[in-house]
Amino acid sequence: MTAKTYLRPTAFVDAPFGHDGKVARLVGGLLWFASVERIGPEGTELIPVEGIESRLSEAEQAVWTNLTTPRAPLKLGERVIRLDQPQIAGIVNVTPDSFSEGGLLEDPLAAIAAGHQMAAAGAALIDVGGESTRPGAQPVWEGDEIQRVEPIIRALAAAGTAVSLDTRKAAVMEAGLAAGAAMINDVSALTFDPRATEVVARAACPVVLMHHQGPPETMQDNPRYSRPVLLEIYDWLEARIEAAAAAGIARERIIVDPGFGFGKNVQHNLALMNGLALLHGLGCPIMLGASRKRTIGALSNEAPADQRLGGSIALALKGSDQGAQLLRVHDVPETVQALRVWRGLRDAALSGT
């Protein structure tokens, strides 16, 4: 049996001009790369893009196709979200114990207003959640969760906003989809509730499968990985994609999230960010949720959650530089501005100016 290898795009260039046949476009986005790092049991090897297909095994050819095939736009109800550039998902946590908002959006009117403001500021979609999954958080009864999220989803969807529902529970998914949510974001990757996969498959809506290690109550107690963290995340997500597809969820509707901060210490999170482009080999769009996370505080004198804007933007731009298509953030206007500057730099490089 041939040992498994992984391909990570690297050696990014500003523009493809003058490099015919020597660079490849990453998943139809705004980035071009000149080499891939082949990671295998024998170590790592840099392979130039030029002539690469003759050097790849059959299994690696499939991964190469994933790395170079454009991602289809997301269809969220009447809204279409292009994935050829980074897009913002604004976070609205309707919980009393959110690690970031601390209950500020528990009032429905405040949550609805926040969602409208994020959409007006440039968020492509709003991700609404009614159960905190911060480290140490306790589960919430599904009835309470539905009561929290349903009016927010209904109001935002009625205004024409694309809404994603952040939940692990099938009953909450059903209620949220009925209220107007057009995408499910499941931090358990459809492993928490046995009915969740069936609900998503029947709804034929996009779904985010997020990597995690353990439940929120204990995931940060002492996270450990027996192999490089990025490779374990890759294999775990690959298995979840296969399970979802086997259950009737179309692959083009699956988004993956590496689960920054979910069962990972600071070093795990930094390794994940440095190698994020590897995950494009899975063939799905990538959502990155690193906004205001604990790692930022650990690297900045224990700054509290509401003082982590600079670190959040740094991680958002790092994700953009590796082709992440969806950035899940709390600070929408500031991140949109950062992305506009990032896009301006890309446009200037691609116009030759």
Domain boundaries of the chain, sorted by first residue? 6-68, 74-351
Task: Reply yes or no on whether the pLDDT at 1 is more than 50.
Answer: no
> Does 293 participate in catalysis according to the annotation?
yes
Tell me the backbone φ, ψ of residue 114, rounded to 5 degrees: -65, -40
Q: Which has the closest alpha carbon to 85: 329, 327, 337?
A: 327
- Ramachandran sector of residue 268 (left: φ over 0; alpha: ψ -120 to 50; beta: rest): alpha
Q: What is the pLDDT of residues 223-238, one digit of tens each?
A: 889 999 999 999 999 9
Question: Which residue out of 292, 293, 294, 308 is catalytically annotated?
Answer: 293
Question: What is the C-alpha to C-alpha distance for residues 254 and 286, in angstroms, rounded to an integer?
Answer: 9
Task: Reply yes or no on whether the pLDDT at 324 is more than 70.
Answer: yes
CATH number attached to the domain at 74-351: 3.20.20.20
> Does 227 participate in catalysis according to the annotation?
no
With residues binned 3-state (H G I as helix, E B as strand, rest as coil), the percentages for the chain, rounded to 5, are 40, 20, 40
What is the reported pLDDT for 222?
Answer: 80
What is the reported pLDDT for 323?
Answer: 98
pTM: 0.95
Q: What is the pLDDT of residues 264-285, one digit of tens each?
A: 999 999 999 999 999 999 999 9
Task: Reply yes or no on whether the pLDDT at 101 is more than 60.
Answer: no
If pLDDT is split at 50, 70 and 90, which confidence band does 106 have?
confident
What is the reported pLDDT for 322?
Answer: 98
Query: Read out DSSP for 231-283?
Result: HHHHHHHHHHHHHHHHTT--GGGEEEE--TTSS--HHHHHHHHHTGGGGGGGS
Q: Which has the closest alpha carbon to 288: 219, 239, 339, 353?
A: 339
Task: Reply yes or no on whether the pLDDT at 129 is more than 70.
Answer: yes
Q: Which has the closest alpha carbon to 170: 145, 147, 149, 193?
A: 193
Question: Which residue out of 148, 168, 169, 328 is catalytically annotated?
Answer: 328
